[in-house]
Amino acid sequence: MTHVVVVGSGIAGITAALHADAAGAAVTLVTKGALQDANTTVAQGGIAAVVFPEDSVKAHIRDTLAAGAGLGAPAAARVLADEGAARIDELIEAGVAFDRTAGGDLARGLEAAHSFPRVLHAGGDATGRAIEEALVARLRASGVRVLEHAFLIDLVTADGRATGVDLMIAGCRGILPADAVVLATGGAGRLYAHTTNPAVATGDGIAAALRAGAEVADLEFVQFHPTVLAGPACFLVSEAVRGEGATIVDAAGRRFLFDAHPDGELAPRDVVARAIARRMREQDGRPVLLDATSVRGADTAAFLAARFPTIDAAVRAHGWDWAHSPIPITPAAHYLMGGVVTDLDGRTSIPGLFAAGECARTGVHGANRLASNSLLEGAVFGARAGAAAASTGWPTVREPAAVVPSGASGASGASGASADIAAPPFSRAALQELMWRGAGVERDAPGLAHATAVLSRWAAAVRNPRTPADFEHENLLTVARAVVAAASVRRTSVGAHFRRDDPACRTPVIRSVATRHAPDSPESGTHVRSSAHVLQEAR
């Protein structure tokens, strides 16, 4: 019997575990917190899928690739859109009570860059929580063994193959052997001073994969959600609010987003986030305002409370009556489009190692994720990775010749960084502020060079991690260096990666530094190197 270990308990991880179990494998799911401590739980807006007769798979593919700014993988987008309806049926069967109309049909919402209102939601704005609770219940009733509060220290490999995981449980370390390992550890939003991600999003799986030598790609593409409550709370205000008619205005009350894109508030997230960041700079740092006061006219208060109960409660808890006054918002790190490179069944460049969800890079999101495709990605590719892990079949790895596009020479793009640069003592807060300033919504060569130098100084220092928090710090540092290296190499702007020093402020469709593809890679182009080279001096 095949033994599969799944690391992570969001929609991708639980779906992978359930599908591996259904395929006859002996499955253990490990998670560093409680089962529901996952990004999935806090997802608000909904899950996009082609389930209405007026919609089409072709339209969903087109929207996904358009949002990806030309760098999305058509094969991955096709799988996402084509298999979405089956995964929605599976979620409904698991007990997810998606919101319905008075007539009993599934309710639908419109979000930015979608050509059709195909976004399903549950509990108004508690879609992620509804999905997570249903999947956890299904997991508990399955044959999957569950280990909570089990921190992933590293992958275990032998003869070039993943053979298990090194875990810390209650302060003790031990090896859990496996025939296949599925990483479903989510993203790395905690790299940044401002993020919508929960505390668990520290890039653990990506860091472990990097240390094991797995290929990663597109780490420069960090999506910043444009509408997050300004202040220490960093509470996300779903894109669905704008889909219902809310507008964004500056300090003078002007709707400025049409200056940046003809779709205004419903433009792709990267466009909206940058426009807000620029207007805030022009306003001496003051936040812009989300105005929902005219949504549904005289019934605004009742509608906001019913359609967005979680957001409504949070906004009011912070002292704002958003039915009558605009609320201050700011961009914040939200989603990582890049990650561990996989094929369409979750296979990475290391035999026996799979990845799914936000920590994986199938190419489906390109340079910018389409709203509400994240939960769908976890369901679709989690199912595929779980089924494939249960079989542990592995195609032959192809080794195409490396290609370096013109203008992309040099691994870091920061060769002029001074080795004597002043660096503050390492801390998570210092790293997060460094990343926010140097590799945030907008980047440039000086900022990336400074970040490279400081991160290198920190990586060279001797530390002795002992606790899960210590290991999280090391993982954040590892992923930060890879993100900055990738952002330094890509000197032109595309999607969520915006270079202030790009003369054209736009980019041709290229990849940065090419290297080996993952087996059966879904696209024929080149992709960013794993950035493992930036780790060598620190190992």
Please report the pLDDT score of residue 395 as a whole number: 66
Residues 37 and 133 in one domain: yes
> Does the residue 418 lie in any domain?
no
Residues 356 and 329 in one domain: no
Question: Tokens representing 515?
Answer: 């290297």
> Does the residue 115 lie in any domain?
yes
> Does the residue 372 lie in any domain?
yes
Q: Which H helix or E strand runs over 120?
A: strand 119-120
Residues 92 and 197 in one domain: yes
pLDDT one-digit tens code per residue, 321-360: 999 999 999 999 999 999 999 999 999 999 999 999 999 9
CB 493 within 8 A of CB 461: no
> Does the residue 525 lie in any domain?
yes
Q: Is residue 200 pLDDT above 60, yes or no?
A: yes
> Does the residue 407 lie in any domain?
no
> Does the residue 399 lie in any domain?
no
Please report the pLDDT score of residue 417 as a whole number: 45
pLDDT one-digit tens code per residue, 94-129: 999 999 999 999 999 988 889 999 999 999 889 999
Residues 326 and 439 in one domain: no
Please report the pLDDT score of residue 505 as a whole number: 61
Please report the pLDDT score of residue 271 as a whole number: 87
Residues 49 and 130 in one domain: yes
Please report the pLDDT score of residue 332 as a whole number: 94
> Does the residue 347 lie in any domain?
yes
Q: Is residue 232 pLDDT above 90, yes or no?
A: no
> Does the residue 134 lie in any domain?
yes
Last residue of a domain, which of 315, 333, 351?
333
Catalytic residue list contains 62: no
Residues 6+ apart with CB under 8 A from 138: 14, 18, 94, 95
Please report the pLDDT score of residue 296 as a whole number: 82
Instruction: Identify which of 223, 145, 146, 162 has the alpha carbon closest to the alpha carbon of residue 189.
Output: 223
Please report the pLDDT score of residue 520 as a whole number: 36
Please report the pLDDT score of residue 45 as a whole number: 79
Residues 186 and 309 in one domain: no
Residue 506 sits in a domain whose CATH number is 1.20.58.100
**In which order are the strands placed within the sheet that holds 3-7?**
145-147, 26-30, 3-7, 180-183, 353-355
What number is the average pLDDT over the span 26-37? 97
Residues 462 and 487 in one domain: yes
Please report the pLDDT score of residue 253 as a whole number: 96
Residues 378 and 446 in one domain: no
Q: Terminal CA-to-CA distance of the chain, rounded, Å?
A: 36
Mean of the per-residue pLDDT values of the chain: 88
Residues 529 and 453 in one domain: yes
Residue 384 sits in a domain whose CATH number is 3.50.50.60
**In which order are the strands placed within the sheet that holds 288-291?**
222-229, 327-336, 288-291, 247-249
Q: Which of 129, 242, 269, 481 is catalytic?
A: 269
pLDDT one-digit tens code per residue, 258-293: 999 999 998 877 889 999 989 998 999 899 999 999
Q: Which amino acid is at 157?
A: T
pLDDT one-digit tens code per residue, 376-406: 999 999 999 999 999 977 664 433 333 223 2
Please report the pLDDT score of residue 344 as a whole number: 98
| Residue given tokens 């696209």 in the structure block | 523
Q: Is residue 410 pLDDT above 80, yes or no?
A: no
Q: Which amino acid is at 419?
A: A
Q: Is residue 52 pLDDT above 60, yes or no?
A: yes
Annotate 495-539 with DSSP letters as a single string.
TTB-BTT-TTSS--S--SS--PPPTT-S-SS------GGGGGGG-
Residue 326 sits in a domain whose CATH number is 3.90.700.10
Residues 351 and 380 in one domain: yes
Instruction: Identify which of 15, 66, 119, 78 has the alpha carbon closest to the alpha carbon of residue 354.
Output: 15
Residues 496 and 353 in one domain: no
Instruction: Identify which of 353, 316, 379 has the alpha carbon closest to the alpha carbon of residue 128.
Output: 379
Strands 288-291 and 353-355: unpaired
pLDDT one-digit tens code per residue, 427-468: 999 999 999 999 999 999 999 999 999 999 999 998 999 999
Question: Tokens representing 140?
Answer: 């508990």
Our CA dihedral for 72, 73, 76, 78, rounded to 10 degrees, sits at: 90
- pTM, to two decimals: 0.86
Residues 314 and 240 in one domain: yes
Last residue of a domain, which of 317, 333, 349?
333
Last residue of a domain, which of 266, 299, 333?
333
CB 496 within 8 A of CB 368: yes
Q: How many CA atoms are closer than 13 Å to the CA of 384, on its beta-carbon side?
A: 22
Question: Domain of 497?
Answer: 428-538
- Tally of domains within the chain: 3
